[in-house]
Structure 1
């Protein structure tokens, strides 16, 4: 079992941040996040997530045009905003990632199955991404609230990558978060059968 400090960092004290301190997120930290998150399980080890780290002023201005008004300030103030997406051709790498059977054939030519598996597994990887970011000492601000279609056209013009959500990264400004919202109890959300 992890020590209580680790549980506090990853879950109990972790919050979704809306404001950011003026502290850089290094490329080394970004690499550390990926090197941890890549080990999270996905169906048939399909690893469809693709991460685009929006860090430069130019890239942030490109991102800004696609954000809903309520997400502009907190995204622009963040040192980095990650676009969590999925590769619509993830199955082409299954020969490497899942070599003990022809898993590629499960998806090739089946657009509905590609979309379902890509979105679900990349979303799982997005959750691992946030845990990894917290583990390397960063705070996260995950959000929807953007135009997926226009963002994808701007950042992924080949049409092979589809955005799911974005996540701001940095040192969160504790003064800008709301009190923690309630959570459902075990009995309200769970059943043992």
Structure 2
């Protein structure tokens, strides 16, 4: 499984028109939510844009290079984070004083929400791959426009987008280069 997820899967270049069932999306969330976060803070939130209407509303917020692929994906996920994640600590981590510690330090809570929400977004990518879905993460978009259109009521913040669907065509294209351990790791 690890070999498949990390070595053989590739970033999607195109998607088939096969729909992604709601049952698959529920299973996807059930898998990704089990990944660890610091203090079990679980700040990530996910907006699944499944309908053509919902996806079209995001079009003006997308960078030009992301429009075609985002619009062709059966599902576009806005990976978000809740800046008030600590309000869920009664359920997630009822350690005395923890909620108040984060509530009193906006810098700490913002950093924690962003970092752990990003981590959970990576879990979404890996869970999607495990379920046989193709993924394409994207950061080229206007977050303020996305938040205004989709997230204002919840108060969530947009982090990045993930196009989801079933792969189309050859998905075995050559992998882009990665840095060797000598350039990316310290062995202390």
Superposition TM-score tier, normalisation by shorter sequence = over 0.9
Q: Counterpart of 1:166 in 2: which secondary structure?
A: strand
Map of 1:28 onto structure 2: 23
Contact (CA 8 Å) 2:10, 2:171: kept in 1 or not?
no
CA distance in 2, matches of 1:65, 1:188: 38
Residue among 54, 62, 67 paired with 2:62: 67
Contact (CA 8 Å) 2:82, 2:113: kept in 1 or not?
yes
| Equivalent residue runs for 1:17-56 within 5 Å | 17-56=12-51
Matched, 1:16 2:32: no
Runs of 5+ unmatched residues, structure 1: 1-5
Matched, 1:191 2:186: yes
Matched, 1:88 2:83: yes
Q: Counterpart of 2:66 in 1: which secondary structure?
A: helix
Matched, 1:111 2:69: no
Contact (CA 8 Å) 2:31, 2:127: kept in 1 or not?
yes
Displacement of 1:107 after TM fit?
Answer: 1.0
Aligned alpha-carbon RMSD (Å): 1.6
Map of 2:149 onto structure 1: 154
Runs of 5+ unmatched residues, structure 2: none
Q: Counterpart of 2:187 in 1: which secondary structure?
A: coil
Displacement of 1:189 after TM fit?
Answer: 1.6
Map of 2:175 onto structure 1: 180
Runs of 4+ in 1 over 2 A off after TM superposition: 172-179
Q: Number of residues paired by the alignment? A: 188
User: TM-score normalized by structure 1?
Assistant: 0.92
Map of 1:138 onto structure 2: 133
Contact (CA 8 Å) 1:84, 1:166: kept in 2 or not?
yes
Matched, 1:99 2:65: no
Structure 1 residues 35 and 127: CA distance shift in structure 2, 3 A:
same
Structure 1 residues 119 and 177: CA distance shift in structure 2, 3 A:
farther
Displacement of 1:177 after TM fit?
Answer: 8.0
Contact (CA 8 Å) 1:44, 1:103: kept in 2 or not?
no
Q: Counterpart of 1:34 in 2: which secondary structure?
A: helix
CA distance in 2, matches of 1:90, 1:17: 31
User: TM-score normalized by structure 2?
Assistant: 0.94
Between 1:9-18 and 1:66-75, the stretch displaced more is 9-18
Q: Counterpart of 2:61 in 1: which secondary structure?
A: coil
Contact (CA 8 Å) 1:79, 1:170: kept in 2 or not?
yes
